[in-house]
Amino acid sequence: MSHSAKEDHDYQLPAPRPPTEWTRQAVTASRPSRRADDSEGMPPDFVRRVLRNSWKWAIPLGLLLAAAAGCAVMYLHVPKYQASALIQIESKVPFVAFEQPSTVRDEARYFNTQIELLRGTVVLIPLLGRSEIGAMEEFQNEPEPLKHLQEHLAVAQIGESELYSVDYVSPSASDAATVANLVVLEYLQMQGQQERQRTQLVIDLLEQERHARSSRLEQLRRRVVELSREVTGTDPFGQGAVFNLDRALSPVDTLYQSLNEIDVNQEVLKAELQALNDAPIVYGDETASSGLFALEISNREDIRELESRLAAQRDRLTRIRKGTQKYAETLADVHDAQSALNERKREVQEELSSARRAERQLQRDRDIVEKKQELQSLATRRVKLAERLEEQLAELKSGGAQSAQLEFAKAELAREEKVFELIAARKLALQTELDAPDRITLKQSAAVPARPLNPIPYELLLVVCAASLATPFAVGALREVSVRRIATADDLERETALNLLGEVTRFPMRPVASRLRSLPAWHHREMIVFAESIDSLRTQLMLTQGLGVGGVRVLAVASAGSGEGKTSVATSLAVSFAKATQHATLIIDADLRAPSAARMLGLPNQPGLADVLRGDLPAVETIAQVGSSTAFLLPAGRSQDNPHHLLLGGRIKELFDRLQRDYALIVVDTPPVLAASESLVLARAADAVVLCLLSDVSQSQQVRRAARCLDATGSRIAGAVLSGVPMRRYTYAYDYRPRAAADYGSGEAF
């Protein structure tokens, strides 16, 4: 089959531009710097690229990792059990028979003190010495058992009631209940023991005073007996004698009653004052480690400022790439900020602890001062009452010395007996109230919890599974960054410095010669946009390279690797040229290793180029027409030898020269440059080479290597074509509006 080139005098081609130095500069240019957007996070296009290129393997792998991570979390998860004991702290002191005024003026302070005692060292240190606690597994390997105990122990008021919940969280349900019950037991024992010790101390002091006054009382009785015998000759305490204290006190009744009350109050106040001086003070050092100051510390302005600085440093650290000098400096700043925050918290805790200790000491001092002031006031009153009593007694003496002395002795005896009785009554009241109900009582012991707090760690599972699902995509993102795929025209120019000849949309999933009327609407539009992009590329080549008669006659379409769209671009470009010029155009499928042009055009692949190069058949018997167009195909044929050997010896150059007599343009679909060395032979034999890149697939490093190989063999690189561009991006970038179907004449795609 022979075909003559058609002459079209109306179609004028511009003179081809002479080769310039840009080709060599493009392939020898130094590798460009990293993309500017790399340091500004991941743009949406990059994310979409990662998802598109990684989802097929990342989703199954992510699901597998998530399942494995979930199983690992459930296997390693240790459930926590919380046991709660219930205690009641009454606002008023309970009593048996003698109601006592409460000495706690501030009930809220008293309740807070009890909470601190429950979580403080006064209760917990003795508790840690118990054998039951030492035998628990969670305390055996714990370097700081006190801190561990305080972190897992909580005391909270239930609403506004007098009830308080003592909670402990442990990996063991039985241990949680045991610790909660032991904490309450140790606290109740300590609290009851302290109250009893203080009360017993007052009772002992009153007993000492009562014993001392007993001797004084006996002396006064003997004095009264002696005076009575001298005045009346009778013993007022003898058999049959009636001694009426009320009658004896009648002249000075009011004064002696007042003196008696003052003396009793003085003795009680002295006992209470001595109890305050002798009783040990439970300081609040443990509150700093109990966590009760946490809210007060966190609300301080200086702490909040330090925490804000630390949060800002950490936020900066997350946006800096690891391994850089800036990352190390920022990490050091984070450590410094954390150290400053911890140091300031310790200082504030010490300040609060010191303030609490000073407050308790101050309250004790105030109580002591108050007791002393009351004693001083009673002493002043007693002096005045004693003066008035002396005046009354002086009046009695004026009526008779011995009678006055007797009356005075009887009155003094009556007063001492009254004081003695009041001291005994006070002692009896204290002894009686020792058996009064406790102010703090256990209402409910902690039971062994049946269910853990977190049988399934949903939050941890969510975080771990999400991280596992994201890990393959993160690997895909790192791979994308490392391979540096070319997605846009800007990427191509920045990464390779090659001249961009044009962009081609994604090749439709139909043969290029399909009838438009048989396609659905969306595929119809896709075919039209693809044809327009091919026509734009063909026009660019005709204007810049003189494609066809009078310019580049043999155009090689190459790519760095396989699957980068060179075959679709080569066949479509040839069909577009044939349709536009009506000149005979030949497509040569020179990819003898993996031919695909014949299948794409719907033509048989045999016989073909391999048969021609072996000399088995002439070229004219292997060429087939593409539809009814002026485009023709020389398929690859069946290669039985090494393709590289078939192309040696100048046979391919001779074939090109013969075919140029019959065809205005020859488009050669070459093998991948980096995979097959025969592509370099084909490229050198051609007039120009177009390097085809596939958007989001071609890697910049491979493209640069392919360009260097072509340049080293003396091939003339006309430029690069970016194929596989999404239709939406193509139409948006070029403000493209496709032509109507009628504009395509016969209804063929090209």
Closest to 554 (Cα-Cα) out of 476, 473, 652, 471: 652
The residue-averaged pLDDT of 159-187 equals 91
The enclosing H or E element of 545 equals helix 521-545
**C-beta neighbour count of 136 within 10 angstroms:** 17
Q: Report pLDDT digits (tens) over 378-387.
A: 888 888 888 8
Q: Which two tokens stand for residue 679?
A: 């592509």
Mean model confidence pLDDT for the chain: 78
Cα 99 from chain centre: 57
Of the pLDDT bands very low, low, confident and very high (cuts 50, 70, 90), residue 557 is very high
Determine the residue type at 515: R
Confidence at 464, pLDDT banded by 50, 70, 90: very high
Q: Are 389 and 255 in contact (CB under 8 A)?
A: yes
Residue 285 confidence (pLDDT) above 80 = no
* Beta carbons of 235 and 226 less than 8 angstroms apart: no
**Poorest-pLDDT segment among 90-99, 242-251, 294-303, 358-367:** 242-251
Domains in the chain: boundaries: 59-77+456-479, 204-438, 485-744
Measured on CA atoms in the order 108, 114, 116, 122, is the torsion positive or negative?
positive
How do residues 64-106 score in pLDDT, each as one tens digit? Answer: 999 999 999 888 888 999 999 999 888 777 766 666 665 555 6
CA terminus-to-terminus distance, the chain: 24
**Cβ count within 10 A of residue 193:** 10
Which class does domain 485-744 fall in?
A: alpha beta
What is the percent of the chain with per-residue pLDDT over 90, rounded to a whole number?
Answer: 13
Q: Are strands 688-694 and 554-559 parallel, antiparallel or unpaired?
A: parallel
Per-residue pLDDT for 11 more than 90? no
Work out the average pLDDT over 506-514. Answer: 56
| Mean pLDDT, residues 357-385 taken together | 82
**What are the structure tokens assigned to 697, written together?**
């697939």
Tell me if 221 sits within 8 A of 413, measured CB to CB: yes
Average pLDDT of the residues in 28-47: 50
Residue 368 pLDDT > 70? yes
Angle at 671 between CA 48 and CA 705, to 5 degrees: 65
Helix or strand (DSSP H, E) at 25: helix 22-28
Q: Is 286 exposed, middle or buried (0-12, 13-18, 19+ CB in 10 A)?
A: buried
Reply yes or no on whether the pLDDT at 463 is more than 90.
yes
CA dihedral for 136, 141, 144, 150, sign (positive or negative): negative
The pLDDT-based confidence of 196 (bands split at 50, 70, 90) is: confident
Q: Count of H helices and E strands in the chain?
A: 26, 12
What pLDDT is stored for residue 9 in this prediction? 35
Dihedral sign, CA of 293, 299, 300, 304?
Answer: positive
Cα–Cα nearest to 247, from 399, 424, 406, 419: 406
Residue owning tokens 């205005």: 664
> What crossing angle do the helices spanning 121-128 and 107-119 adopt, rounded to 10°?
20
Residues for the chain: how many in total? Answer: 750
How many Å apart are CA 353 and CA 285, to the nearest integer? 6
Closest CA to 155 of 289, 291, 285: 291
Q: In the beta sheet, which residues pair with residue 720?
A: 500, 691
Please report the pLDDT score of residue 15 as a whole number.
39
Q: What is the pLDDT of residue 438?
A: 76
Band of pLDDT at residue 697, cut at 50, 70 and 90 = confident
Encoded tokens for 7: 């002459």
Please report where in the chains the tokens 């005024």 appear, as a residue: 101
Decide: helix, strand or coil at residue 96.
coil
Helix (H, G, I), strand (E, B) or coil at 154: strand
Taking the C-alpha atoms of residue 381 and residue 265, their distance in angstroms, rounded to an integer, is 12
Range with lowest mean pLDDT among 281-290, 310-319, 436-445, 469-478: 281-290
* Per-residue pLDDT at 587: 92
The answer to whether residues 608 and 638 touch, using CB atoms and an 8 Å cutoff, is: yes
Highest mean pLDDT among 115-119, 487-491, 523-527, 572-576: 572-576
Give the span between the Cα atoms of 337 and 300, in whole angstroms.
Answer: 17
The one-letter amino acid code at 91 reads: S
List, in order, residues 6 or more apart from 166 with CB less than 8 Å away.
84, 85, 86, 87, 118, 153, 154, 155, 180, 183, 184, 446
Contact between 138 and 280 (Cβ < 8 Å): no
Q: 280-283: long-range contacts (C-beta < 8 A, 24 or more apart)?
A: 281/360, 281/361, 281/364, 282/117, 282/122, 282/194, 283/356, 283/357, 283/360
Give which of 597, 617, 635, 405 is closest to 512, Cα–Cα: 597
Asked if the model's pLDDT at residue 523 lies above 70, the reply is: no
Does residue 121 sit in helix, strand or coil? helix
Question: What is the rounded CA–CA span in Å between residue 185 and residue 182?
Answer: 5
Type of residue at 159: G
DSSP reduced 3-state for 591: coil
Amino acid at 482: S
| Residue 68 pLDDT | 93
pLDDT of 162 over the 80 cut: yes
Distance CA 387, CA 371 (A): 24
The amino acid present at 418, given as its one-letter code, is K
| Spatial CA neighbour of 14 closest among 718, 663, 545 | 545
Reported confidence tier of residue 737, pLDDT bands at 50, 70, 90: low
Q: Is 41 helix (H, G, I), strand (E, B) or coil?
A: coil
CA nearest neighbour of 656 among 683, 627, 693, 694: 683
Best CA proximity match to 410, nearest among 220, 212, 210 = 220
